[in-house]
Structure 1
Amino acid sequence: MNNAPIFFCRKLSFLIVFFTFVQVSWGLSTGDEHSLFQVSEYKGKVVNSSGDPINSAYLAVEGTNISTVTNSDGYFSLKIPADMQEVSVTVSHLGYRSRTLPLEFFKSENVVIELQETMEELSEVSILSYTDPRAVVENMLKNRGNNYFEDRATMTAFYRETIKRGRKNVSLSEAVVTIHKTPYNSMSDDDIALVKARKTADYDRLDTVALKLRGGPYNPLSIDLMKNPTYIFGQDELERFEFSFDQPTKINDRYLYVVNFKEEDQGMPWYYGKLYIDARSFTLVKASFNLNVDNRSAATDLFVKKKPGGTKVYPVEVHYDIQYRERDGRWYYGYGNTNLEFVVNWKRRLFNSRYKVSSELAVTDWKINTEGKVKKDNTFLSNRVVMADDISGFADVGFWGENNIIEPDKSIENAIDKIRKRLEEN
């Protein structure tokens, strides 16, 4: 079966939402509850020079493929095998100077890691010699086969999906998954298998309407632009876009071109955003982009596949982020995040409701797959999956075992506590 997303005017329309009247059903958590080996967990916070938290800062254990990212409050949890005591951890984020710290540093209480902004003036650097931004993007696409993995890889990743109504968290799904990543020079689809999962929801705040996101972990994985460049633009389609240079930047001692892009045909939903491209190798290191959804009718057809009668449902904001990681001169998918905001208008209600849906996928470990294509079993997910309602995992302190996860935001933790108490009272 082909797991490619469903297309509408060549847009990334895999993010499909269902608005249905609530029918509560409880599922079961998945996966072995016992840790495979002893691990040590280290927690802390990453901030900038002003003390503000840094979201999605990357922490990587040197000499391994173990990593994690910070949450929106800057907090992290990093689990490392107990027999790794002499390692160092590198902390990095785009626009900041990286820091490499010995593991001993993380054994203190209330660890706070401060990253300094990169203040270097980059416009005079000779390596940034290109004057045509389209030529930089052309080289990015042309060098895709040389810059990214040519091998199959087996990745462990953490997935989180949150739904908010207004400012309140109303639903949270989390999962540890295995990504069977095909080579970047292959047209074959990536597969995802479920290791552990849990979900809970506050249906009182969902206002009798349950918003469900189809695709689950496939959503942030599918924005891997270097695996699927034609999802937005291919080598022969660049004439559909307008390109311009933004102020260049630097990450991990790499000078990056920052290229703005936007589609010229703006009749239908259209893309615009930024590409962060390595100045030496023309590797896409990061992309941040949006889908303009001012054409309400077309945007509704693109994203909303089911809704209750008497309502109008349409997206008002669609945003994507993708980050790549480097290992031994080759790059691979490291982190993806999709954010959608929807409005629900009821015919007989004075005020509308706003829902925000966020799904993120962070690769926390990986290895080259030398065994070839993996035979699918019942743990493999369909790209049409909707995360089932499940509360059992939230009561189990050791649920995640040795797996690295993204620390829950404080607001999410509070929402979970309230939901759990309500369920226990009932």
Structure 2
Amino acid sequence: MKILSIIQLFLFLSVSVYAQEGSKVAQTIKGKVVDAVSNRPVSYTNIGLENTFYGTASDGEGNFELKIPGDMVEKNIYFSAVGFTNKQFPVNTLFGKEFNVVKMDAQSYGVDEVDVAAQNMVLIRILRMASEDIKYNYGAGPFNLHCIYTNNCVVENKTQTPQKASVLIYDAKGYADVSKEDAYISRKYSVTKEADDGDYRFSTGLMNIDDLLELDWVRSGSSVLNPALLTDFKLSLESQPTIDGKEYWVIAFSQNKPTLEGSGDYYANTFKGKITINKVDYSVLKIEGEVQSSKNNRQGKGLAVGNTTKNYFTDVAYHFEVAYKELMLNQISLNKTYSYNGKTVNEQLGLKVDRVHSNNLTTLETREYFPGE
């Protein structure tokens, strides 16, 4: 954003100097740049007059304004944005209109047909659009999610009693307010275990529901869905599948030196994954990830372990998948292996959304970690 501001300032100063040298403004054009298919705003589009340094950029909502000097009214104006085909036409076609809507077409060539540097820019653009369009593609709150929680645990090759419980989630704002802070503040839940389940893990609250919900990056705008972090990732196009008649990009991502902000794991040593994004509306279909970590706090993978604490997991490795369906979270699964008290443990956790509704709501004020009967 700082670089963009400097560029815009430079353009503004260039325009100002030009005007001071005697050029008279003939027209002021205003408008909005949008995706031709989805009508979503195209943010930070480069806009200029051909063969000059005269131009501007659209803002975060695609809006722009440009004053046209009298001796440039016969020139062509161009619009350029990563992930879209360049657009160029006579600038005077925009004259006489109070507000113009300029529609950009998504690039028709395959992302895999460009060189590595250009592909990285295109993939960053796709991920940024996916992040910016979350508020359009997913349901706003308040709403309830009725979920089924499961945990199948194996300790030293011995299968433990499976855990199963009903989880009711109340989300006050939903996907209209995308941030880690709001995802934590607005999402509350209660847990009801099966009546005959006496597993001690219920009574201790060690169900890892917070860890599961934190994997819903669409809700929190985390990792590769946080535009501010995209330059920290190595990106590549893995495939372009057609699923249920719709075309998608599958973008692979990794961090050479995993960060807490990128991986969500305080002690991550390796981190990689892939995200599946719809080519038309930039909605996220699925997120997958793999992490290896030297240790984890028992209360959550994003928490540090105190210097005097000995009660934590070591040699941690896990794979997770998050699926979305019909404007909403559909399922989170986590397969995790670690060492604890000298024993090897494997946990297969799941949170499956069974029903969603926004009327006759059950409002929750807290996160009830300790389930009732």
Alignment TM-score, normalising by the size of structure 2: 0.55
Structure 1 residue 339: deviation in Å?
2.2
Distance 2:146 2:312 in 1: 39
SS class of match (2:222): helix
Alignment of 1:183 onto 2:174 = yes
What is the aligned partner in structure 1 of residue 77 from structure 2? none
Amino acid at match of 2:352: A
Please tell me whether the aligned partners of residues 217 and 359 of structure 1 are also in contact (alpha carbons under 8 angstroms): no
Q: Which stretch shows the higher mean deviation, 218-227 or 253-262?
A: 218-227
Alignment of 1:255-294 (within 5 A): 255-266=247-258, 269=268, 270-293=270-293
- Post-superposition Cα deviations, 1:80-136, rounded to whole Å, max 9, x if no partner, equal xxxxxxxxxxxxxxxxxxxxxxxxxxxxxxxxxxxxxxxxxxxxx958558432222
- Compared with structure 1, are the counterparts of its residues 242 and 172 closer, same or farther at alpha carbon in structure 2 (3 Å cutoff)? same
Distance 1:301 1:222 in 2: 10
Q: Which of 150, 163, 178 matches 1:173? A: 163
Structure 1 residue 312: deviation in Å?
8.0
Alignment of 1:221 onto 2:219 = no
Alignment TM-score, normalising by the size of structure 1: 0.49
Alignment of 1:374 onto 2:363 = yes
Please tell me whether the aligned partners of residues 296 and 313 of structure 2 are also in contact (alpha carbons under 8 angstroms): no
What is the aligned partner in structure 2 of residue 356 from structure 1? 346
Unaligned runs of 5+ in 2: 1-106, 113-118, 260-266
Q: Which of 332, 343, 360 matches 2:328? A: 332
What is the aligned partner in structure 2 of residue 59 from structure 1? none
Please tell me whether the aligned partners of residues 272 and 292 of structure 1 are also in contact (alpha carbons under 8 angstroms): no
Structure 1 residue 165: deviation in Å?
1.0
Distance 1:162 1:285 in 2: 26
Q: Which of 238, 245, 250 matches 2:230? A: 238
Alignment of 1:134 onto 2:131 = no
Structure 1 residue 151: deviation in Å?
3.1
What is the aligned partner in structure 2 of residue 318 from structure 1? 318
Please tell me whether the aligned partners of residues 287 and 321 of structure 2 are also in contact (alpha carbons under 8 angstroms): yes
Please tell me whether the aligned partners of residues 130 and 225 of structure 2 are also in contact (alpha carbons under 8 angstroms): no
Distance 2:203 2:344 in 1: 11
- Compared with structure 1, are the counterparts of its residues 254 and 167 closer, same or farther at alpha carbon in structure 2 (3 Å cutoff)? farther
SS class of match (1:238): helix
Please tell me whether the aligned partners of residues 216 and 386 of structure 1 are also in contact (alpha carbons under 8 angstroms): no
Alignment of 1:84-233 (within 5 A): 131=119, 132-181=122-171, 182-186=173-177, 187=182, 188-198=185-195, 200=197, 214-230=206-222
Amino acid at match of 1:190: R
- Post-superposition Cα deviations, 1:138-170, rounded to whole Å, max 9, x if no partner, equal 111121111111232112111112221133311
Please tell me whether the aligned partners of residues 170 and 201 of structure 1 are also in contact (alpha carbons under 8 angstroms): no
Please tell me whether the aligned partners of residues 241 and 249 of structure 2 are also in contact (alpha carbons under 8 angstroms): yes
Amino acid at match of 2:337: E
- Post-superposition Cα deviations, 1:192-246, rounded to whole Å, max 9, x if no partner, equal 123443575789xxxxx99977354333222111111236651111111111010
Structure 1 residue 171: deviation in Å?
3.2
Distance 2:196 2:224 in 1: 32
- Post-superposition Cα deviations, 1:283-314, rounded to whole Å, max 9, x if no partner, equal 11100102232x459999867969xx998840
Amino acid at match of 2:187: D
Structure 1 residue 360: deviation in Å?
0.7
Distance 2:353 2:297 in 1: 33
Please tell me whether the aligned partners of residues 138 and 328 of structure 2 are also in contact (alpha carbons under 8 angstroms): yes
Amino acid at match of 2:209: P
What is the aligned partner in structure 2 of residue 71 from structure 1? none
- Compared with structure 1, are the counterparts of its residues 381 and 240 closer, same or farther at alpha carbon in structure 2 (3 Å cutoff)? same
Please tell me whether the aligned partners of residues 286 and 324 of structure 1 are also in contact (alpha carbons under 8 angstroms): yes
- Post-superposition Cα deviations, 1:233-280, rounded to whole Å, max 9, x if no partner, equal 511111111110102223221111000001132485153101011111
Amino acid at match of 2:133: N
Amino acid at match of 2:273: G
- Compared with structure 1, are the counterparts of its residues 225 and 241 closer, same or farther at alpha carbon in structure 2 (3 Å cutoff)? same
Distance 2:310 2:357 in 1: 50
CA-atom RMSD in angstroms = 3.8
Q: Compare CA radii of gyration and give the structure with the larger one.
A: 2
- Compared with structure 1, are the counterparts of its residues 311 and 183 closer, same or farther at alpha carbon in structure 2 (3 Å cutoff)? closer
Distance 1:211 1:305 in 2: 22
SS class of match (2:219): coil
Amino acid at match of 1:356: N
Please tell me whether the aligned partners of residues 202 and 370 of structure 2 are also in contact (alpha carbons under 8 angstroms): no
Distance 1:213 1:320 in 2: 21
SS class of match (1:226): helix
Unaligned runs of 5+ in 1: 1-124, 204-208, 346-351, 391-426
Q: If each structure's helix is expressed as a fraction of its own residues, which one has the higher value?
A: 2
Amino acid at match of 1:259: I
Please tell me whether the aligned partners of residues 315 and 342 of structure 1 are also in contact (alpha carbons under 8 angstroms): yes
